[in-house]
Amino acid sequence: MTLSPQEMDRVVLARSISKNFGPVRALSEVSLTVRPGAVHALVGENGAGKSTLAKVLAGIERPSAGSMTLGGSAFAPRDRADAKNRGINMVPQQLSLVGELSLVENYLLAGRRRLANRRSARALLAATLERARVEVDLDAPTASLTQAHRQLGEIVVALAEGAHTLILDEPTASLGPLEVGGLFEHLRSLCALGTAVVLITHRLDEVRQVADDLTVLSHGQNVHHGSATGLEPAEIARLMVGELAAPPPRAARTPGEVVLEARGVVAGSLRDARLDGVDLTVRSGEVVGIAGVAGSGQNLLLDVLGGFVKPERGSVTLAGAPAGASAAGLLRAGMAWIPEERSEAVVPTMSLKENLGVYATAIGAAAVPAGAPSAEARLRAFDVRPAHPELVASGLSGGNQQKLLAARELGGDPAPRAVLAYGPTQGLDLRASQAIRERLVELAAQGAAVVVASHDLDEVLAVADRVVVMFGGRMIVDLPVGEAGTERIGRAMAGLAEPAPAAAGPATADPAAAGSAPADGPTPTQNQGDPE
Amino acid sequence: MRTLDRRRWVLTASVVLVVVAVAALLILVAGADPLVGIRGLVEGISSSPYRIGEVFVGAVPIGIVALTLIPALRAGVFSVGAEGQIVIGAIAATGAIFAVDQLFGGAAPGPVLWITGFVAGAVGGGVTALIPAFLAVRWRVNEILSTLLLNYLAAGFLGWTLRTWLATGEQTATPQSAHLPEAASLPLLVPGTRAHWGVLLVLVIGAALFVWRRSRSSARLTVFATRPKLALRLGATRTQVVYSTMLLSGVGAGVVGWIQVAGVNNRLLNSVSGGVGFSGIAVALLGSLTPIGIILAALFFSALTAGAVGMQSATGTVPASIAEVIKGVLLIGVACIAAYQRHPLAALAPAGAPTAADDGGGGAPPLEPAGEATAGTLVEAEHEGGRA
């Protein structure tokens, strides 16, 4: 690529950046070149290190190793303000504008000057708007602007502060398709003026739409770095997720009667995608895995299944519990619950023994049978360290709290009839993860209906008999695990519909896909094979 | 966890030291000898049976309010409406006692009037507490705000009541009700003092709560305060928890209203609540929500008030209101201890310093959601906030 000398001044070069958080290696020798006048897409799974890399560039995190240069001279920002001074600014996912204040006031608030001059600030912003060819009301409280305008406003404020390199953390996450198109137009016109844009996104079709350059991160490593042109989303998905090892052979189980069923569930939440008519049937002896990027509705679905959120429409039934049972009713009918945030289910001020017995003491379940295993035996069975029943739960490490939770939910007597687990092996080492997975499969073998949701596709594929992919509050894929190839799941997680048979290239010549996939292009498909 | 306990003791000891130092300083500033002042304080609460009785008389209302607040505070429902609930309870009890007495032609037997006053007070206080509970459940109105503001409404209603339908026929300097029938007064526990049978009621409530603390519902409330979703699985919905705990504290406060009317003043006065409702919250926290701790703290608070009067007369220059200052300092100390218990390490570490999450040695590992415990700086908070 050829660059004018002026542009050379602003190339951001990162070399062999590593970042450790304690023992966890979030980034491992990642290199990156951000060119002025280009959109650089940064993609990867959850936890692949995208946000960490962006924070290193923006001065929010300091790299553990590696160096950066800006226009040829060393660039080692002390903090975010330092990076801002050098012209690199990050627009966070959670917008930072103060809703009660107008854009002008927000700009003055963020500015470095001690004396605020409203008139000159307004003139500067107006000039920036003109330059970027954006029209946003500068004087209305930002809370009254649309989401897309707020996003643009944040970018304009960053530009007015002198940014020549903008890092946008999932700017399209809360925008509709039309708004996304508008935002991209503005990004292109900014690029034409020489601004560099780093775009973090989960949506792979956006890469094709707008990106010039592409960096793909996987498990903290750079697996692709170069031009984005000519890369199909399916290839990017494979780069992101990698070739997954085939799941270990599993004993064939024949699913029995339906144990847990959700029908036409419609529900809303502030924290997750709105559920839009979700159907899910889980049979006895079956492990259903729910995959999807964060915020696709999995959390809300599990909340509805667990009785924590009443759906606006639709129903959830668990065999043995009355229809529309409360969370307590579902618990009595034998539903085990491992939430994504383990802190929701472990009481830190109670001892391990009290945590294990919290259901019995608070509900007064049937008296503990004489031959029941002691608290210590239950803790040992799940390798909770230390297995000391009187210890307060807050004294355990995160991984051991997860084991404690598993011991309570999965190790109880009688065995659960249904299991809801979100990321049941998070924070656990390989051996402990394997033990929990084996326990989940064992429960299914004993006749439980098991639902396992996770951001981590490996975790889902390791236990599931059937894989369901959620995107934007809908179930768009429902496949037996044997047919759920990395590529199909990766595409579905990124919101790409099943390829139509006619368009299927050599890479997607999968007879199962061609056979079972509906041919109606981009519309998300409902749960297949569910007669309604 | 031993390190944690030791730090708590150090914190508690330093709070006590600060309180003593502030008290001594105030006495010095007032121009008196601290030793003389403290002797006056001790004599003020111990020199005669009457004075000892006064300590108990003062401790009864504070104790009942604090004890019945245990479940609410344990569940994290912070009701500060005891003041108003006492007032409404007192009005209801007074009105009901007069009405029933009239029904009996002015010669109602004592037990009937006691039960009448007790029930009416309990209903009055309970109903008053149900209003903020309803608002909190139905529209999520902050219960601290609604209970606090209802206190003013109750005070206004009391002023109106004492000038209209419950006003005494006599000429008095301040608005007040007529004298209650003799039979309505609570019998004295010890002759020669004002200590009445309400003292026993405190012990009964204390014992009941002592047993309750080992019950299922206590466990549910403890879980509800910190882990609402887990509590849902235990059957503790927000509706049920808010209604039941606020109702109990309202009933307790309403009964206190009756006790103040029938056991202490024998008539309804404008000053019937007299800050007892707020002292009750302080005492509940000071007694760390345990029945025995609360009873001791209530006695301590009451002794401080009674003793300060003795101090004033012994020194001649130290105003009795010094007790209020000392209570205030104590409350700040209690608030510090309470904050420390919630976030042991974060409360001590300066903002922005490595937080609890990074402190491996002997500290609690992070159990709170990431955004809450690890967001040390503004920038981090900005980025983590949405994921918490």
DSSP labels, B270-299: TTSSTTHHHHHHHHHHHTTT-HHHHHHHHH
Q: Residue A248 has what pLDDT? A: 56
Say which residue the tokens 């200590």 belong to.
Answer: B195
The values of phi and psi at residue B303, to 5°, are -65, -35
**Taking CA atoms, what residue in A is nearest to B229?**
A344
Q: Residue B64 has what pLDDT? A: 97
CA A149 – CA A39 distance, rounded (Å): 20
Residues of B in contact with A408 (CB under 8 A): none
Beta-strand pair A258-267/A73-74: unpaired
**Pseudo-torsion of CA B210, B216, B219, B220, nearest 10°?**
-130
Q: Which whole number is the average pLDDT over A482-509?
A: 62
Pair A468, A480: CB distance under 8 Å: no
CA A192 – CA B121 distance, rounded (Å): 77
Domain-embedded: residue B2: no
Q: Residue A233 has what pLDDT? A: 76
Contact between A92 and B382 using a beta-carbon 8 Å cutoff: yes
Contact between B235 and A359 using a beta-carbon 8 Å cutoff: no
Residues of A in contact with B236 (CB under 8 A): 362
Domain-embedded: residue B327: no
Domain-embedded: residue B221: yes
Amino acid in position B334 = V
The answer to whether B140 contacts chain A (CB < 8 Å) is: no
The full DSSP string for A40-78 is EEEEE-TTSSHHHHHHHHTTSS--SEEEEEETTEE---S
Residues of A in contact with B345 (CB under 8 A): none
Q: Residue A249 has what pLDDT? A: 60
The answer to whether B385 contacts chain A (CB < 8 Å) is: yes
The residues, any chain, with a CB within 8 Å of residue B1's CB and separated by 6 or more, are: A391, A392, A395
What is the domain count for chain B?
A: 1
Contact between A392 and B222 using a beta-carbon 8 Å cutoff: no
Say which residue the tokens 């179930």 belong to.
Answer: A475
Return the SS3 of B253: helix
Report residue A118's pLDDT band, with 50, 70 and 90 as the boundaries: confident
Q: Is the pLDDT of residue A341 over 50?
A: yes
Return the SS3 of B328: helix
Domain-embedded: residue B195: yes
How is residue A269 written in tokens? 């939440």
Pair B303, B55: CB distance under 8 Å: yes
CA A166 – CA A199 distance, rounded (Å): 8
Report residue A364's pLDDT band, with 50, 70 and 90 as the boundaries: low
The answer to whether B207 contacts chain A (CB < 8 Å) is: no
Return the SS3 of B307: helix
Say which residue the tokens 């995208």 belong to.
Answer: A50
Mean pLDDT value across chain A: 80
- Selecting from B222, B227, B383 the residue whose C-beta is nearest the C-beta of A92 gives B383
Residues of A in contact with B219 (CB under 8 A): 358, 361-362
Beta-strand pair A213-218/A221-227: antiparallel
- Selecting from B233, B366, B382 the residue whose C-beta is nearest the C-beta of A94 gives B382
Residues of A in contact with B237 (CB under 8 A): 326
ipTM: 0.71
C-alpha distances (whole Å) from B90 to each of A94, A507, B150, B267 are 52, 82, 15, 10
Q: Residue A517 has what pLDDT? A: 38
Beta-strand pair A449-453/A418-422: parallel
Q: Residue B260 has what pLDDT? A: 95
The full DSSP string for A376-444 is HHHHHHTT-SS--TTSBGGGS-HHHHHHHHHHHHHS-SSPPSEEEEESTTTT--HHHHHHHHHHHHHHH
Domain-embedded: residue B319: no
Q: Which domains are assigned to chain A?
A: 5-241 (3.40.50.300), 258-343+414-493 (3.40.50.300)
pLDDT above 70 covers a percentage of chain A that reads: 82
- Report the alpha-carbon angle B366-B370-B372, nearest 5: 90
Radius of gyration of chain B (CA): 23
| Per-residue pLDDT of chain B in tens (388 residues, 90 and over written 9) | 445 567 777 887 888 788 888 888 988 888 888 888 888 888 889 888 999 999 999 999 999 999 999 999 999 898 999 999 999 999 999 999 999 999 998 888 999 999 999 999 999 999 999 999 999 999 999 999 999 999 999 999 999 999 999 988 888 888 899 999 999 999 888 888 888 999 999 999 999 999 998 888 888 898 998 899 999 999 899 999 999 999 999 999 999 999 999 999 999 999 998 889 989 998 998 888 899 999 999 999 999 888 888 888 888 888 888 888 888 888 788 778 777 765 443 333 333 333 333 333 333 333 333 333 322 323 333 333 333 3
- Selecting from A344, A347, A398 the residue whose C-beta is nearest the C-beta of B366 gives A398
Contact between B235 and A362 using a beta-carbon 8 Å cutoff: yes
How is residue A434 written in tokens? 């394997």
Query: Residue A207 burial (CB < 10 Å; 0-12/13-18/19+)?
Result: buried
Pair A128, A138: CB distance under 8 Å: no
Report residue A369's pLDDT band, with 50, 70 and 90 as the boundaries: low
Q: Is the pLDDT of residue A99 over 90?
A: no
Report residue A174's pLDDT band, with 50, 70 and 90 as the boundaries: low
A191-200 per-position pLDDT tens digit: 888 889 999 8
Q: Which whole number is the average pLDDT over A473-491?
A: 83
Beta bridge partners of A480: A466
Contact between B382 and A55 using a beta-carbon 8 Å cutoff: no
Q: Is the pLDDT of residue A284 over 90?
A: yes
Return the SS3 of A110: helix
How is residue A292 written in tokens? 């999807």
Residues of A in contact with B380 (CB under 8 A): 60
Residue B29's CB is within 10 A of a number of other CB atoms, namely 10
A146-167 per-position pLDDT tens digit: 767 888 888 888 888 888 899 9
Beta bridge partners of A27: A19
Contact between A363 and B235 using a beta-carbon 8 Å cutoff: yes
Q: Residue A362 has what pLDDT? A: 64
CA A314 – CA A264 distance, rounded (Å): 5
pTM of this structure: 0.68
Residues of A in contact with B368 (CB under 8 A): 343
Domain-embedded: residue B148: yes
Helix (H) or strand (E) holding B110: helix B110-139
Contact between A345 and B367 using a beta-carbon 8 Å cutoff: no
Residues of B in contact with A364 (CB under 8 A): 216
The answer to whether B366 contacts chain A (CB < 8 Å) is: yes
The answer to whether B361 contacts chain A (CB < 8 Å) is: no
Q: Residue B322 has what pLDDT? A: 86
Contact between B230 and A51 using a beta-carbon 8 Å cutoff: no
CA A318 – CA A334 distance, rounded (Å): 9
The full DSSP string for A313-352 is EEEEEETTS-TT--HHHHHHTTEEEE-SSGGGT--TTSBH
Residues of B in contact with A344 (CB under 8 A): 227, 229-230
**Taking CA atoms, what residue in B is nearest to A79?**
B379
Contact between A358 and B230 using a beta-carbon 8 Å cutoff: yes
Domain-embedded: residue B381: yes
Pair A264, A279: CB distance under 8 Å: yes
- Selecting from B226, B235, B365 the residue whose C-beta is nearest the C-beta of A328 gives B235
Per residue, what are the HEC states of B111-167?
HHHHHHHHHHHHHHHHHHHHHHHHHHHHHCCCHHHHHHHHHHHHHHHHHHHHHCCCE
Domain with B284, as residue range(s), is 70-293+354-387
Beta bridge partners of A260: A282, A318
Q: How far is CA B341 from the centre of its chain?
A: 20
The answer to whether B328 contacts chain A (CB < 8 Å) is: no
Question: Which of A495, A419, A427, A420 has its CA nearest to residue A456?
Answer: A427
**Taking CA atoms, what residue in A is nearest to B360?**
A397
Amino acid in position A198 = V
- Selecting from A327, A349, A392 the residue whose C-beta is nearest the C-beta of B233 gives A327
The answer to whether B145 contacts chain A (CB < 8 Å) is: no
Helix (H) or strand (E) holding B15: helix B2-29
Domain-embedded: residue B243: yes
- Better-predicted residue by pLDDT, B157 or A341: B157
Amino acid in position A513 = A
